[in-house]
Amino acid sequence: MTASTGSCAGRPAGAQSAGTVDAALPGDAGERTRDCLAIIAVAVALLAALRPLQNTPFIDDWVYAHSVEVLLTQGRLSISDWSAHLNVVQVLWGALFCVPFGFSFTALRLSTWVLAVSALVGLYLVLRDAGVSRRPALLGTATLGFNPVFFVLGHTFMTDVPFLAATIWFMLAAARAVRQQDRRYLWTAAVLASLGVGVRTVGIAMPGALLATVLLCCGPWGRRPGDLAAPVTSIALGLMLVWVGLRSLDHVVDLSDIANAPANRVAYVLRYAIPWLPQMLVFGSTFVIVSVGTALLPLAVAAVEPPRAPATAALWAGLLTLVVVTSRFNPPYSPPLASGTTWALAELGATEPLIPHAAPAAQAPWVGWAVTVAATASFAVVLLAALRRRGRSAAEASFLWLALGHWTLIVLLWLFYDRYTLVFVPVAIAVLLGRCTQLRLLVAVPAVALFAALCCVGMHDHLALNGALWGAVGTLQARGVPAEQIDGGYVVNGWLQFAHPEHAPRDAQGRIVVPHMTVADWPLPYVISLRPLPGFRVLDSLPFLRYLAPAGLIYVLQRADSDASN
């Protein structure tokens, strides 16, 4: 190993076949332990430096937080019908962290941070088990850890990172099961798959991948009834958790006429999934290609092999052509890092678009296409590695089955949002580093460092804006303004009014009305806005400092014709 390159694999690809037991190198266990402790130490240092565990909601996590609150205060499991996921397991996990000091978003964010750190440790072990040497394995782990989508969601109570943690530990257990033909790991993988389904129903791809692997890739060992029982039981347990979630659904208001309600979105997709399948196959493919390619840029730029450069360039041209063709489709191609996505070029966290009267961020078309060109090149490097059939092990096959299952669900359910492609990132990292012959460290390290800087600056900006938003809410509450008179946008209204309908405004018929949720707009006496509005007086303004996007003010407004007693 030189200063500028690092060997990816500790042994040649394919040197270990399914059914053989890993032979740990001398001192390997101690080295792995030290590296895992170092990963945890870096995560703790970043937590102390950034202090991201705000006691505030993030996008949709107020929906899941309310389930924890009900469980703690009323002793029953309650899943809101606004919830996109029947996340029974996550609710129970979050409740454990709230038990010592009571309910808070800080405790819930901490519960996810613990899982985020465990996911990084799990990915490092997945890579080392696959024969990836130490430095590339650490860089692969850092590529996930400093993926901006993973980074910001790892400090919230969204379902994405808990689901990813279950997925990564499933990958580790499943790979060890098929390498060592060990039923203990097989059943561990089955349990982890079931827990993943209990966080997100689309986790059914995990037991499906396990079943396909033992049936098709493990020879006679995987086809014995005792081995097949594990994935079959996993599917049954996962479906049982889905049933528990369905039985726990709570209905606050009539959502039948609200197109954006989760149940209606699912019904709409199921109605048109088959007729629109040809378009969605192409659209879904390009969506995953660009999203995963963007996430893998720090590794892909350092893993290009000169002998395979012509094949990589040809594949890159084909992928880019596919994206260009897709841009003519309906729905049209959506460029990466666009405003409103979890990771946008000018904002990490998608907080600003959910505040009333936010001006849509303008992004020059060439920016999206520039990222697209780089992302398709990155994905070409990953795909070329995945297409090499020579030496493919049953463990690697389990990863690819998992990716195929999730891709199928994304296409069928139209899960075209950057958060939903996060599950592909550890699979792509494992496949790329497991197949590449060397990684140019002088390229990979600065690339990972650049992503790390984007994460830290983006998190600072997000916390500043989100803190100002909820500071404005606190200003009104300190004035004695009741929650039903405050319009603070989707997240604020969702938590204050939808999650707590006793504090929601009502129409003339007494029905609950939540602005930006059950209705597009509803006149309330107080508005929290990103700009002054005609017909409102400014009660207060709270500044926020950002670096990726312009700094600004959050305005606390009162209608000029409302009672000024507050």
Same domain, residue pair 474 and 379:
no
Does residue 366 surpass a pLDDT of 60? Answer: yes
The maximal CA–CA distance of the chain, rounded, in angstroms, is 79
Residue 50 lies in a domain: no
Q: Which residues have CB under 8 Å from 564's CB, separation 6+?
A: 558
pTM of the predicted structure, to 2 decimals: 0.93
Residue owning tokens 């400090």: 155
Lowest mean pLDDT among 27-31, 100-104, 291-295, 517-521: 27-31
Same domain, residue pair 338 and 387:
yes
State the pLDDT at residue 557.
95
What is the rounded distance in angstroms from the CA atom of residue 531 to the CA atom of residue 553? Answer: 8
Whose CA is closest to 136, among 444, 423, 450? 444
Same domain, residue pair 407 and 306:
yes
Distance set, CA 556 to CA 58, 494, 533, 559 (Å): 20, 18, 10, 10
**Is 9 in contact with 434 (CB distance < 8 Å)?**
yes
Whose CA is closest to 531, among 344, 360, 349? 360
Lowest mean pLDDT among 231-235, 259-263, 494-498, 514-518: 259-263
Tokens standing for residue 539: 């009660």
State the pLDDT at residue 436.
84
State the pLDDT at residue 457.
97
- Give 563's pLDDT tier (boundaries 50, 70, 90): low
What is the rounded distance in angstroms from the CA atom of residue 236 to the CA atom of residue 504? Answer: 39
For residue 483, list its beta bridge partners: none
Lowest mean pLDDT among 119-123, 249-253, 432-436, 535-539: 249-253
**Is 15 in contact with 391 (CB distance < 8 Å)?**
yes
Residue finishing a domain among 396, 414, 448: 448
State the pLDDT at residue 271.
80
Same domain, residue pair 93 and 192:
yes
Strand 526-529 and strand 552-559: the pairing is antiparallel
Three-state secondary structure call for residue 453: helix
Three-state secondary structure call for residue 320: helix
Same domain, residue pair 254 and 343:
yes
Q: String of b and e for 312-321 (b: at least 16 CB within 10 Å)?
A: beebbeebbe
Residue 454 lies in a domain: no
Mean pLDDT of 364-390: 88
Same domain, residue pair 270 and 304:
yes
Q: What are phi and psi of 243, to 5 degrees?
A: -60, -40
Residue 522 lies in a domain: yes
**Is 155 in contact with 459 (CB distance < 8 Å)?**
yes
Does residue 363 surpass a pLDDT of 90? Answer: no
- Give 390's pLDDT tier (boundaries 50, 70, 90): low
**Is 418 in contact with 336 (CB distance < 8 Å)?**
yes
The count of domains in the chain is 2
Three-state secondary structure call for residue 538: strand
Residue 111 lies in a domain: yes
- Give 5's pLDDT tier (boundaries 50, 70, 90): low
Does residue 306 surpass a pLDDT of 90? Answer: no
- Give 3's pLDDT tier (boundaries 50, 70, 90): very low
What value, to the nearest 5°, has the Cα angle with vertex 84 and ends 83 and 87?
Answer: 75
* CA torsion, ordered 310, 312, 318, 319, to nearest 10 deg: -160
Which helix (H) or strand (E) segment holds residue 438: the answer is strand 438-440
Taking all residues of the chain, what is their mean pLDDT, rounded to a whole number?
89
Three-state secondary structure call for residue 6: strand
Q: How many CB atoms lie within 10 A of CB 224?
A: 12
Residue 51 lies in a domain: no
228-232: long-range contacts, CB 8 A cutoff, minimum separation 24: 230/183, 230/186, 230/187, 230/189, 230/190, 231/190, 231/193, 231/207
Beta strands in 155-311 (DSSP E): 249-250
Same domain, residue pair 380 and 404:
yes
**Is 109 in contact with 54 (CB distance < 8 Å)?**
yes
Residue finishing a domain among 414, 448, 482: 448
Does residue 26 surpass a pLDDT of 60? Answer: no
Residue 53 lies in a domain: no
Same domain, residue pair 91 and 220:
yes
Residue 80 lies in a domain: yes
Same domain, residue pair 265 and 231:
yes
What is the rounded distance in angstroms from the CA atom of residue 566 to the CA atom of residue 563? Answer: 7
State the pLDDT at residue 391.
64
Mean pLDDT of 147-163: 97
Q: What is the DSSP string of 134-199?
A: HHHHHHHHHHHHT-HHHHHHTTS--SHHHHHHHHHHHHHHHHHHHHHT-HHHHHHHHHHHHHHHTT
Report how far Cα 105 is from the mean position of its chain's Cα atoms.
18
**Is 518 in contact with 496 (CB distance < 8 Å)?**
no
Q: How many CB atoms lie within 10 A of CB 306?
A: 7
**Is 334 in contact with 369 (CB distance < 8 Å)?**
no
Check the CA dihedral 555-560-562-566 and report its sign.
positive
Please, what is the angle between helix 160-180 and helix 105-129, to 10°?
30
Amino acid letter at 36? C
Lowest mean pLDDT among 174-178, 202-206, 250-254: 250-254
Q: How many CB atoms lie within 10 A of CB 431?
A: 23
Mean pLDDT of 331-351: 86
State the pLDDT at residue 508.
83
Highest mean pLDDT among 71-80, 106-115, 527-536: 106-115
Same domain, residue pair 436 and 480:
no
Highest mean pLDDT among 143-157, 280-294, 398-412: 143-157
Mean pLDDT of 343-369: 86
Residue finishing a domain among 419, 448, 477: 448
Tokens standing for residue 480: 């004695």
What is the rounded distance in angstroms from the CA atom of residue 67 to the CA atom of residue 89? Answer: 11
By residue range, what is the domain housing residue 497?
A: 462-559
Q: How many CB atoms lie within 10 A of CB 100?
A: 7
Which helix (H) or strand (E) segment holds residue 553: the answer is strand 552-559
Same domain, residue pair 485 and 380:
no
Q: What is the DSSP string of 44-78?
A: HHHHHHH----SS--TTHHHHHHHHHHHHHHSS--
Residue 306 lies in a domain: yes
What value, to the nearest 5°, has the Cα angle with vertex 299 and ends 421 and 318?
Answer: 65
Same domain, residue pair 400 and 470:
no
Whose CA is closest to 89, among 105, 77, 74, 102? 77
Tokens standing for residue 340: 């409103």
Three-state secondary structure call for residue 74: helix
